[in-house]
Amino acid sequence: MLARLRLIPQDDRFFDLFNRGAENTLEGARLLHDLLNNYVDVDRKARHLKDIEHTGDEITHEVFGALHRTFVTPIDREDISNLASSLDDVIDWIEEVGRRIRLYRIDKPTAIACQFSKVILEQAEQIARAVPLLEQRSQSDVLQRATQEIHRLENEGDDLLADAIATLYDGVTEVPQLIYAMRWNDLYQLLEDTTDKAETVATVLNNIALKNA
């Protein structure tokens, strides 16, 4: 679907930065999955997530700096901006999950939260697989399958949220129980929002592929 989109040598930096952004997002998703499924050293893991999020910000700033300095870009400037921003959003939301888990002093994660972390990790794996294919026409089918899987996983996240909220407030009669339920309501919504952000990356990747077919 995509030819190797290289007009001048320095344009390679955009693809390199996108690949770094995708790998950084995957690192964050792996750490979130570990945090929720191996619930020890929570403060340390949450701080590490913040470091990963900061790296994502630096990569995004590099993209926009390069965009400002480059007259001819390998793909549309708007697409470069959209992809950089959408990748950054995923790691921002992942880090926010870790931050709120620490702030809320969650005693232990729920089974649904662990399932959410698996969905997010699988989405990040598909993103890391798809982003490097932007340069390769011969791999367009693989890119399309990866983005379709990201969309499917987002639907799975919708189902998890519905299951979580359906019974979250059942039996809540005391203020501590209400606080507990409200905090998990917030976390579940944030986890589902993270799957939405990953789906946005898939949409941007598809749009780029279609425009450069």
In a domain, 3, yes or no: no
* Nearest-angstrom CA–CA distance, 205 and 123: 13
Task: Give the model's confidence band at 49: pLDDT under 50 very low, under 70 low, under 90 confident, else very high.
Answer: very high
In CATH, what number is assigned to the domain containing residue 49?
1.20.58.220
Range of the domain at 187: 9-211
Residue 140 or residue 79, greater confidence: 79
Q: Which residue carries 């929002």 as its tokens?
A: 193
In a domain, 157, yes or no: yes
Task: Give the model's confidence band at 204: pLDDT under 50 very low, under 70 low, under 90 confident, else very high.
Answer: very high
In a domain, 1, yes or no: no
In a domain, 139, yes or no: yes
Q: Is the pLDDT assigned to residue 164 strictly greater than 60?
A: yes
In a domain, 25, yes or no: yes
Q: Is the pLDDT assigned to residue 5 strictly greater than 60?
A: no
DSSP label of 148: H
Amino acid at 126: Q
In a domain, 2, yes or no: no
Burial status of residue 77 (CB atoms within 10 A of its CB: 0-12, 13-18, 19 or more): exposed
Q: Is the pLDDT assigned to residue 205 strictly greater than 80?
A: yes
* Nearest-angstrom CA–CA distance, 81 and 155: 26
Q: Is the pLDDT assigned to residue 3 strictly greater than 50?
A: no
Q: What is the pLDDT of residues 82-109, one digit of tens each?
A: 999 999 999 999 999 999 999 999 999 9
How many domains does the chain contain in total? 1
